[in-house]
Amino acid sequence: MGVLDGKVALVTGASKGIGAGIAKGLAAAGASVVVNYGSSKEDANRVVSVIAEQGGKAFAAQGDVSKSGDVKRLFAEVVREFGGLDVLVNNAGVYSFGRLESVRETEFHRQYNTNVLGTLLATQEAVKLFGEKGGSIINIGTAGTHNPGPAMVLYLSTKGSIDIITQVLAKELGPKKIRVNSINPGGTETEGAHALGVIGSDFEKHLISQTPLGRFGQPEDIAPVAVFLSSEASRWITGEILLASGGMR
């Protein structure tokens, strides 16, 4: 028996990194999981295979969270395959770092469209699907918004928006029995972090030096927090921004 037996969860951006870790964690706890991806079909299928090998239930579904048509199609697929939804994890996100003078319109829209608009569009559809039983929404922010440093104005402003979205929607959706919480990870080793050159860099060393538990995070460190926020054990918790960062703040 898993704590999420009988639940259906959709994890956006679950083909890689933290999203893939959360999808596997929710499935291991008994949930049927929709592994959303933007462009990495093979990676998403690999996550589904791992879940199936461990006796879990999952399918991969393409959809760019920043496009309302894609999001509507994605949720229609969730209904077709699993008949409803209990948990939405708004994990799909993109990031790059740089100082004020490096901010460009295209990168502004890429980050805001995925990180902020994508979260709002997916949440709109989830609310329609949850129905009278309610549900749990888990947003993925970042620990960086608690102690914002330089050269991250664009990315951290998108994630500051996530902190606010969580707090506003917890109040707005509470009467519908929908809980809204954020997990704010510290530095975590993912495909995205590797692609950006964070792993092995001085920046990684700096982050570790600020982390009381003395290492970089892994997706497997974040997944159990998502299981908790998806489960009955967290039924009295909403509007929380939970740092999962080894104590870095």
155 is catalytic: yes
Q: What is the CA radius of gyration of the chain?
A: 17
Q: Select from 4, 122, 138, 193 the one that contacts ligand NAP (CB under 6 A).
A: 193
- Cβ nearer to ligand NAP, comparing 119 with 136: 119
Which own/partner contact pairs does 69-76 have at CB distance under 8 Å and 24+ positions apart? Answer: 71/118, 71/121, 71/122, 71/124, 71/125, 72/125, 74/10, 74/34, 74/36, 74/122, 74/125, 75/10, 75/122, 75/125, 75/126, 75/128, 75/129
Site string for ligand NAP, 67-96 (x = CB under 6 A): ------------------------xxxxx-
Q: Select from 32, 114, 123, 234 the one that contacts ligand NAP (CB under 6 A).
A: 114
Q: Is 246 in the site for ligand NAP (CB under 6 A)?
A: no
Q: What's the per-residue H, E or C state across 85-149?
A: CCEEEECCCCCCCECHHHCCHHHHHHHHHHHHHHHHHHHHHHHHHHHHHCEEEEEECCHHHHCCC
Q: Select from 10, 18, 85, 178 the one that contacts ligand NAP (CB under 6 A).
A: 18
- Cβ nearer to ligand NAP, comparing 4 with 22: 22
| Minimum gap (Å) between residue 104 Cβ and ligand NAP | 18
| Minimum gap (Å) between residue 226 Cβ and ligand NAP | 11
Residue ranges in contact with ligand NAP by CB under 6 A: 12-19, 36-40, 64-66, 91-95, 114, 118, 140, 142, 185, 187-188, 190-193
Q: Which residues are catalytic, by number?
A: 155
